[in-house]
C-alpha cells in the first residue's frame, strides 16, 4: 500500500484528459473553478444525475462559515478504527518509506495546494475523531487560500475555526478531544462521504444545500449547463413579467421565434454580458428541426 500514489490516482481517473498535478490528481482549470462559484448546487447536480452519477451529493452536515461558497479540487482521505498491527505498519511505512512526519491527518494537510479541499471519511467518528482544529484549519487556509474541509467525522476548536473566514468547513460534530484511535488507509483514493462518493481531483461544490462532488471530466459540462440554465431563467423571468409569454411556453421546448428573441436579448442586455462566452447554435438548430418536423406532421402539437 502506497499513500498519495501517482499511478493509482491516474488509474481511477482515466476519463480526465487534461493537466494533472504532480501526484496525479486531475487539475480542473482555474477558470472552471471561478465560474463554478457563481452557480447553484442544483444547477450543477442536474447534468450529473442525467449521466447516471446518482451518489455525488451529501447534505447532512454542520457548517462553519456557512455563508461562503466552497469550490475546490478534492484531496481525499479514508480512516478506519485503530487496530495495532495495521496502525504501526502504516505509520512506520509513511515515516520510513515516504519521509512523512507527524500524525496521519498532518500528512494530508501538508500535501495541500491552492484551491484544494480536504475530503475525509472518518466513519462518522466524533469523540477522538477530530480531524482538524484551530491549528490545522489555519494551515488549510494558508495552503489553499480559499479552500476548506468536508469531514465525515469531527472537528475541535470550533470558535477558532469560525474566526478563519477564508475557508469553509463541513463536519458531523465537534468534541474537545484530539484525534486518536484511527488509522489512515487511503490517501487520494476513493472516499465515501455519507451517501456520496468522491475521487481525488473531483470539484467540490459546497453551498447552503450541502456538498456536491463533480467528476473532473464533467466539470466544464456542468458549468456550461448551469450557466445556460441560469441565463435562460433570467430571460424567462423578464418575459413572464412582461406577459410576453405564458409559463407553459417558457417551460416547454422553445419555438424558433422564442430562441431568436432570447438570442437577441442575450447579445444586447447587460444582464447577459458575463455569459457571452456561451453559444446557442445547437439549441437554435434543434428548434428549427423540431419546427420542420411539426410542419411535416411528424410531431403532434
Instruction: Determine the Cα–Cα distance for residues 97 and 86; give it in Å rounded to an integer.
Output: 16
Q: What is the pTM assigned to this prediction?
A: 0.90
For residues 243-250, give the mean pLDDT: 96
Q: What is the pLDDT of residues 128-158, one digit of tens each?
A: 999 999 999 999 999 999 999 999 999 999 9
Sorting pLDDT into bands at 50, 70 and 90, what band is 206?
very high
Q: What is the pLDDT of residues 273-293, one digit of tens each?
A: 999 999 999 999 999 999 998
Instruction: Determine the Cα–Cα distance for residues 223 and 215; give it in Å rounded to an integer.
Output: 12
Sorting pLDDT into bands at 50, 70 and 90, what band is 236?
very high
Q: What is the pLDDT of residue 300?
A: 61
Q: Which position has the higher pLDDT, 230 or 33?
A: 33
Sorting pLDDT into bands at 50, 70 and 90, what band is 299?
low
By percentage, how much of the chain surpasses pLDDT 70?
99
The cell for 31 is 477558470
Sorting pLDDT into bands at 50, 70 and 90, what band is 301?
low
Looking only at the bridges linking them, the beta strands covering 148-155 and 116-132 are: parallel
By percentage, how much of the chain surpasses pLDDT 90?
93
Amino acid at each position: 500500500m502506497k499513500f498519495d500514489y501517482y499511478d493509482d490516482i491516474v488509474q481511477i481517473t482515466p476519463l480526465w484528459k487534461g493537466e494533472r498535478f504532480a501526484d496525479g490528481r486531475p487539475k480542473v482549470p482555474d477558470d472552471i473553478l471561478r465560474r463554478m462559484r457563481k452557480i447553484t448546487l442544483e444547477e450543477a447536480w442536474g447534468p450529473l444525475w442525467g449521466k447516471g452519477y446518482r451518489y455525488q451529493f451529501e447534505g447532512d452536515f454542520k457548517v462553519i462559515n456557512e455563508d461562503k461558497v466552497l469550490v475546490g479540487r478534492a484531496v481525499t482521505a479514508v480512516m478506519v478504527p485503530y487496530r495495532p498491527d495495521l496502525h504501526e505498519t502504516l505509520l512506520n511505512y509513511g515515516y520510513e518509506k515516504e519521509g512523512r512526519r507527524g500524525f496521519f491527518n498532518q500528512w494530508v494537510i501538508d500535501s495541500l495546494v491552492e484551491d484544494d479541499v480536504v475530503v475525509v471519511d472518518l466513519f462518522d467518528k466524533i469523540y477522538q475523531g477530530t480531524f482538524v482544529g484551530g491549528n490545522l484549519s489555519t494551515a488549510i487556509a494558508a495552503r489553499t487560500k480559499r479552500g476548506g474541509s468536508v469531514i465525515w467525522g469531527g472537528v475541535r476548536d470550533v470558535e477558532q475555526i469560525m474566526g478563519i473566514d477564508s475557508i469553509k468547513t463541513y463536519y458531523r460534530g465537534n468534541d474537545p478531544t484530539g484525534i486518536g484511535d484511527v488509522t489512515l488507509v487511503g490517501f487520494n483514493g476513493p472516499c465515501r462521504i455519507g451517501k456520496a462518493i468522491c475521487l481525488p481531483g473531483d470539484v467540490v461544490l459546497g453551498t447552503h444545500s450541502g456538498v456536491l462532488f463533480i467528476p473532473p471530466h464533467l466539470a466544464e459540462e456542468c458549468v456550461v449547463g448551469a450557466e445556460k440554465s441560469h441565463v435562460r431563467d433570467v430571460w424567462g423571468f423578464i418575459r413572464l413579467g412582461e406577459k410576453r409569454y405564458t409559463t407553459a411556453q417558457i417551460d416547454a421546448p422553445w419555438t424558433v421565434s422564442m430562441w431568436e428573441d432570447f438570442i437577441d436579448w442575450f447579445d444586447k442586455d447587460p444582464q447577459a454580458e458575463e455569459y457571452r462566452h456561451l453559444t446557442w447554435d445547437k439549441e437554435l438548430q434543434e428548434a428549427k428541426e423540431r419546427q420542420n418536423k411539426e410542419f411535416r406532421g411528424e410531431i403532434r402539437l
